[in-house]
Amino acid sequence: MTMIEAIRDAIDTMMARDQRVVVFGEDVGYFGGVFRCTDGLQEKYGASRVFDTPINESGIIGVAVGMASYGLRPIAEIQFADYVYPGYDQIVSEAARLRHRSAGDFTAPMVVRMPCGGGIFGGQTHSQSPEALFTHVAGLKTVMPSNPYDAKGLLIAAIEDPDPVIFFEPKRLYNGPFDGYHDRPLTAWKQHPKGAVPEDYYSIELGKAELVSEGDDVTIIAYGTLVHVALAALEGTNISADVIDLRTLVPLDLAAIEASVQKTGRCVIAHEATYTNGYGAELAALVQETCFYHLEAPIERVTGWDTPYPHAQEWDYFPGPARLEKAICRVLEGTALAEGAAAQANGGANQ
């Protein structure tokens, strides 16, 4: 399945298993969603369980909170992550706090799905990665899968979770291989346009990272699209790296990060969102706090620019393999290994 198909299958699976599951958002019903993630579900389950809403993100989230507090399992889609801000108050002030402010009398078992990131030349208002705005909020869980198998298993776990979950879907990973990288072909990604996804029910525990590549020289921490960029950055080099796919940002699998960094002594963190106060800053702080005496080099962060997402310079803004490889070389500076890796970098536009 592609990631779109895996997400649709996860929703289909849970709607068939649990009559409390309902799906709604802008164009998710009759049209099947702008990215077709809910295509065919209204026809299968009816307009009372899969329905369209007005263009009103605050209303969408508010309805989801009310439904969840009275026993339903709503899946609310925000058409693009860039549109979530009118609904942010409902997420933070109501959904995230409901369990605590009611002393457990009410909960909000709801999922807010939203496509995030660039890659479709959507410019400033269709390309943002605002995950750090949600990882900061106590009471929320935040998820971002990197492949179809994880997308289905994590979404099912999110739907079953007793608390609100923010579920980010990197739109660059929706349909398969992509091009546009000017610094290196992403042959590592091209192995993952689709993934083997069981049609039956399964779930992946929230808060468990996956080690997608194993090595001794450096730890690369990433999530979403940047997992594949990290694998591409290692191609053709003699760098031996642990690549950790976080999968869930909150709760965070800190034990997996500690074990890896204490082994390698070096750490590079990569994400598409802006640098300042991005989630990578929290990761860097945690690595410093828990692994300080094991570190042999400063922690590096490779991220998007501190600007609104630029349409014309999208491929320069996006942290590509060449920029990531340069950061890896910096943490390996002074070794023969770094010299060998640097010789293979082809420059690229990303600095």
Separation between Cα atoms, residue 196 and residue 290, nearest integer Å: 36
DSSP for residue 78: P
Lookup: tokens for 275: 């640098």
- Token reading at 212: 């997608």
Bridge partners (DSSP) of residue 218 are 241
CB 206 within 8 A of CB 248: yes
Amino acid at 184: R
Q: How far is 276 from 17, CA to CA, in rounded Å?
A: 42
Q: Which residues are catalytic?
A: 126
Amino acid at 255: A
**Inter-CA distances, 52 with 56, 110, 116, 271, Å:** 11, 17, 21, 32
